[in-house]
Amino acid sequence: MPDQPPYAYTAFGLNIQSEIPLPGLLPGAPPVALDATPVWVRQGETPTSLAQPQFSGVLYQTSEGEFLLTLENIARYWVRNGQEVIVQTFPNADEAAVTLFLLGSAFAALLHQRGVLALHSSGIVIERSGEKQAVLFAGRSGAGKSTLAAAFHQRGYPLLADDKCAIVLQDGRPIVYPGYPHLRLWQDAAKKLAVDTEALPPVRADLEKFSLPVEEQFHAAPLPLRAVYLLNTHNALEIEMTPVSGMNKFRQLLQNTFRQRFLDGLGMRPAHFQLASGVAKHVRVVRISRPMHPFLLDELADQILHDLEGSHAASAQ
Amino acid sequence: MQQAPNEARGLVWLASYPKSGNTWMRAFLTNYQRNSDKPADINHLDNGPIASARELFDDEVGVEASDLTLDEIDRLRPLVYTQYARSMETLEFLKIHDAYTLTSRGEPMIPPQATHATLYILRNPLDVAISYSHHSHCTIDQSIQFMADDDHSLVGSKRRLNNQLRQILLTWSGHVLSWVDAPNMKVHVVRYEDMKKDPFAAFGAVVRVVGLPYDEERLRKAIEFSSFDTLKKQEQEHGFREKMPMAESFFREGKSGGWRAKLTAEQVQAVVSAHAAVMRRFGYLDETGSPV
């Protein structure tokens, strides 16, 4: 990292130029860029509301090409045209929190503006006959995405993204661009994975949720998308896996799009529909229901590997 | 079906302490609204799971509750329900186990202006104690303690993520009073025991209070389709997704007065002494202070 701004980082195949340091992002330029237009993260004044909002949620407003998110005592984020995020930090804000919401919802809006499918998922890399492919674990907050990705990472599978992935179509095929090189884990998930949180920074002050940097075995280049596993919990004691087909695949990709409510006000719904339907055609989607407690982490990882094996054999015939 | 021009719309709270008949009420309302020829599937009841569902919050707010502190979450919840109610074109019923409390800003977490009506479902705490112990997989003595604990909450752990937000319950008495005496909230109290004893009157009143068109035949059918036996049979055949993982079943006995056989004299005494005033107010104690 250069010690003078702008700092250069990469995530989702984007070239990020930032006036503020963004610890936890991969420094430098992307090995394979998604496109040539850089993203600027600047510090500056932001409007208190958009001139003509198409939609107003509890903490955000959207209009075509614009997104405004306000977190009291932390910061306001103004995201414009998929190219620029202006951050107005409030007095005495916790720096970690400022970065957290920047990399979370503000970057989600940025990806939406760029017409990229931001899937609410964590991703790992599997290798088959020399070819690397992306496998994603999608689901709502609390479904177990990060925990499962961490378990795969511990087994030696490279991490591709945590919490959100960027998917685009290239030559009609879905390609996943990597996210951030860290895993965010709650205290009890860390314990399950035998990760000591003592020395780890919390994602923000007052939360027992930690950021585990993934320095080794992070895959920084884009990969073809192989499969999406949709994580759900149920009150039965077994793991159930059900392949999803046809229109339901498309529907699931819509439902699992990160902050998909932003799309309407941004005017990006039609483009997103088209992208999701293109992705749905070329990806295996499997719905998983697992018990809430116990998580059955090892069994789940085994069953996913088994499913990948089986589906590979089937598609090879 | 043609809608009446002045058909009611807005958010109706189905508020209760856990294990007080809330799901039964939801099953009744779903059956009444659908007016179908067969009972509604308990795993597909109308109107979302619960007010404290994490995804309802995340969708409305635009950032995830999992990145916020418990206090920040509670301060945003009034705005979430206001936003949620704004989009409603019909009546929507939303179950809630939170006590009616004020946020750290002094605002009610459940805003009266976002509320069309409130049903508070109340059950004899002597029976709640038994049912809550099965539900939470704890002893009856523990559930009696929870019900007397002003700090009792659901999913209050800060170390892990649950699919629901933290819900402050207060004591059982505190819970009841927080809702029934909430300022500017018109609360209709329905006792579980009355739903059992005279369902026609109890559910009929509910239909009128929330502003659904009153129809006796529909009422009779909805009561039958949401009877305890129907609900229990459905759970035995297909399971119920709202059952707690460790609990044997969600629909257990569906009885009133089960405490007479199940609670010891000491346990009865503990409940009565902790909750006498509220029990008396709602007819669970007679003039002599004995449980009815």
Do β-strands A117-128 and A164-170 pair in parallel, antiparallel, or remain unpaired? antiparallel
Is residue B229 situated within a structural domain?
Answer: yes
Query: Is the torsion defined by CA of B171, B172, B173, B179 positive or negative?
Result: positive
Query: Is the torsion defined by CA of B229, B234, B237, B242 positive or negative?
Result: negative
* Cβ within 8 Å of residue A261, ≥6 positions away: A55, A57, B59, B62
Complex ipTM: 0.94
Q: Which residue has the tokens 């483009």?
A: A271
Query: Which whole number is the average pLDDT over B142-161?
Result: 92
DSSP state for residue B153 in the 8-state scheme: E
Helix (H) or strand (E) holding A306: helix A297-316
Domain annotation for chain A: domains and CATH numbers:
7-113 (no CATH), 117-316 (3.40.50.300)
Three-state SS at A16: strand
**Chain A: residue nearest B86 by CA?**
A57
CATH of the domain at B240: 3.40.50.300
User: Contact, A8 vs A16, CB < 8 A?
Assistant: yes
Is residue B3 situated within a structural domain?
Answer: no
Interface of B with A in 107-166 (CB under 8 A): 157-163
pLDDT in tens, B211-253: 999 999 999 999 999 999 999 999 999 899 888 887 888 898 8
Contacts of A295 in chain B (CB under 8 A): none
- Whether the per-residue pLDDT at A4 is higher than 90: the answer is no
- Whether the per-residue pLDDT at B262 is higher than 70: the answer is yes
Query: Is the torsion defined by CA of B45, B170, B276, B145 positive or negative?
Result: positive
Is residue B93 situated within a structural domain?
Answer: yes
Percent share of chain A, pLDDT over 90: 90
**d(CA A146, nearest CA chain B) in Å:** 12
Of A97, A106, A49, residue with least CA distance to A73:
A97
Domain count, chain B: 1
Interface of B with A in 47-66 (CB under 8 A): 54-55, 58-66
* Cβ within 8 Å of residue A307, ≥6 positions away: A227, A241, A286
Cα–Cα distance for residue pair B109/A59, rounded to 1 Å: 17
User: Contact, B42 vs B234, CB < 8 A?
Assistant: yes
Beta-bridged to residue A40, according to DSSP, are: A17, A84
B248 vs B267: which has the higher pLDDT: B267
Contacts of B245 in chain A (CB under 8 A): 235, 237, 291-293
DSSP characters for A137-205? EE-STTSSHHHHHHHHHHTTPPEEESSEEEEEEETTEEEEEP--SEEEEEHHHHHHTT---TTSPBSST
Task: Round the average pLDDT of chain A to a whole number and report it.
Answer: 95
Amino acid A312: pLDDT = 72
Is residue B290 situated within a structural domain?
Answer: no
pLDDT in tens, A107-162: 999 999 999 999 999 999 999 889 999 999 999 998 999 999 999 999 999 999 99
Amino acid B158: pLDDT = 84
**d(CA B49, nearest CA chain A) in Å:** 14
Provide the residue type at A181 as one letter: P
Domain carrying residue B249: 10-281
- Whether the per-residue pLDDT at A315 is higher than 70: the answer is no
* Structure tokens given for B236: 């035995």
Query: Which whole number is the average pLDDT over A225-247?
Result: 94
Is residue B74 situated within a structural domain?
Answer: yes
Helix (H) or strand (E) holding B255: none
pLDDT in tens, A58-74: 999 999 999 999 999 99
Instruction: Calculate the CA A29 to chain-centre distance.
Output: 19
DSSP state for residue B46 in the 8-state scheme: S
User: Contact, A237 vs A296, CB < 8 A?
Assistant: no
